[in-house]
Structure 1
Amino acid sequence: MKKGLKTIELTLAGMFVAMMCIGANITSIVPFMVVGGVPITLQTFFAILSGAILGSRLGAITMAVYAFVGLAGAPVFAKFGGGLSHILSPTFGFIISYIFTAYVTGKLIEMKKSLPVYITAALIGMIINYGFGTNWMYFAYKLWASAPDGFTYKLAWTWMIVPLPKDIILAVFAGLMANRLEHKVLARSQFRKIQRTA
């Protein structure tokens, strides 16, 4: 049984935590990545990619670390936010969902590393992100947050239509990218050797 993470695994996990922070605040760094007033964030993309590249276990651990770092106060969430108060945010469910997104994406790919599986796993990961995050948002508004006038379950899902095309495209791209990296680089890497002997 694996007792701890190796240096290379810790390094890759740290890289993905950093990329999640960048993905959450990409419009602050690159202002033109706002289309029709909607910011094009990359968190879902990196969450899917972490599972596809790091695997189910390390990918989920990495996303959990990202969440805990943010809750500890580091400005890694959207709008460079951080702190325990984010637990009460209606959108905090999306942050939790990244853990499950990475895990399920990685687990499906571990079964068979073919291009169709990579793309399918990435899309399923995106569905988990949307499903968990949107339902959390709905119940948050209904139970403890101040809901907008006329807020309904249907309206919560209507809000998600705007970023949906972007996330579908990025999910497919994540699958394509991870598949190519696997067969061109990762399959023969020290990182995969460590995973196979774990």
Structure 2
Amino acid sequence: MKLTVKDMVLCALFAALISIGALGSIPLPGGIPFSIQPLLAMLAGAVLGSKRGAISMTLYMFMGVVGLPVFSNGAGGFGYILAPSFGYIIGFIFCAYVTGLIVEKSRANNSKVGMVIAPFAGLMVDYIIGVPYLYMIFNLVMGKAIDVNTALVYGFYPFILLDLLKAALVVVVIFGLLPRLERQGILA
């Protein structure tokens, strides 16, 4: 995939947006903060498409790993890969990709059902990556034995209802904003 200057600007914009979304994170027990970042990862995929959405989230992850303070509460650095929440950051890449891929295919087939399902599927991918990563970090790295239910208590139950509302908001964007952005030539 060859990126145009416009593609690069849009990817950088979403990387910046998700970085800003991390600044307002609210720490919770278990090391997983509440933030608007899942919303932004789903939006990246829905608005930019699968590949550019994934690129923007990869750029965000890379910026944090190299030391820029773009993770929750201004954290950054290579050591952050051992944080319980890093699995969700990896998940943002796949969340954006899956959301974007389903939106692309649904729009090509004029499937409204697919466009509704897209952000919910992307969100679930983030959880499918994030919760096991949290479990692994607690058990293997931090030496704090937790069971699967405790991992869900730390990384799923407190977030799922609000994250489902965020996914519903992305559906509104898909139907309301995407056609306008395409008509204005902002998205290809």
Same fold, TM exceeding 0.5? yes
Task: Tell me the distance in 2 between the aligned counterparts of 1:10 and 1:93.
Answer: 25
Task: Tell me the distance in 2 between the aligned counterparts of 1:116 and 1:189.
Answer: 25
Asked if 1:7 corresponds to 2:10, the answer is no
TM-score by length of 1: 0.84
Task: Tell me the distance in 1 between the aligned counterparts of 2:13 and 2:184.
Answer: 20
**Equivalent residue for 1:70?**
64
TM-score by length of 2: 0.88
Q: How many angstroms does 1:175 deviate by? A: 1.9
CA distance 1:39–1:85, change in 2 (3 Å): closer
Instruction: Work out the number of aligned pairs and report it.
Output: 180
Asked if 1:154 corresponds to 2:149, the answer is yes
Q: How many angstroms does 1:47 deviate by? A: 0.4
| 8 Å CA contact 1:56, 1:102 repeated in 2 | yes
State the Cα RMSD in Å.
1.9
Asked if 1:92 corresponds to 2:89, the answer is no
Q: How many angstroms does 1:7 deviate by? A: 1.4
More divergent stretch after superposition (77-86 vs 178-187):
178-187
Residue-by-residue CA offset, 1:77-136 (whole Å, 9 max, x unaligned) = 001100000111121111101111011111111111244322211001111111110011
CA distance 1:94–1:156, change in 2 (3 Å): same
2:20 maps to amino acid: I
Question: Percent identity of the aligned residues?
Answer: 31
**1:33-112 → structure 2 map (5 Å cutoff):** 40-112=34-106
Q: How many angstroms does 1:178 deviate by? A: 2.6
Which of 179, 182, 188 aligns to 1:186? It is: 182
| Runs of 4+ in structure 1 over 6 Å off | none
Residue-by-residue CA offset, 1:8-57 (whole Å, 9 max, x unaligned) = 111111110111011112258xxxxx9xxx96411110000000110001
2:97 aligns to what SS in structure 1? helix
Q: Which runs of 5+ in 2 are unaligned?
A: none
More divergent stretch after superposition (65-74 vs 152-161):
152-161
| 8 Å CA contact 1:13, 1:59 repeated in 2 | yes
2:177 aligns to what SS in structure 1? helix
Q: Which runs of 5+ in 1 are unaligned?
A: 29-33, 193-198
Asked if 1:163 corresponds to 2:173, the answer is no
| 8 Å CA contact 1:49, 1:175 repeated in 2 | no
Task: Tell me the distance in 2 between the aligned counterparts of 1:6 and 1:90.
Answer: 35
Which of 168, 171, 180 aligns to 1:172? It is: 168
Task: Tell me the distance in 2 between the aligned counterparts of 1:42 and 1:178.
Answer: 17
CA distance 1:166–1:190, change in 2 (3 Å): closer
1:57 maps to amino acid: K
**Equivalent residue for 2:120?**
123
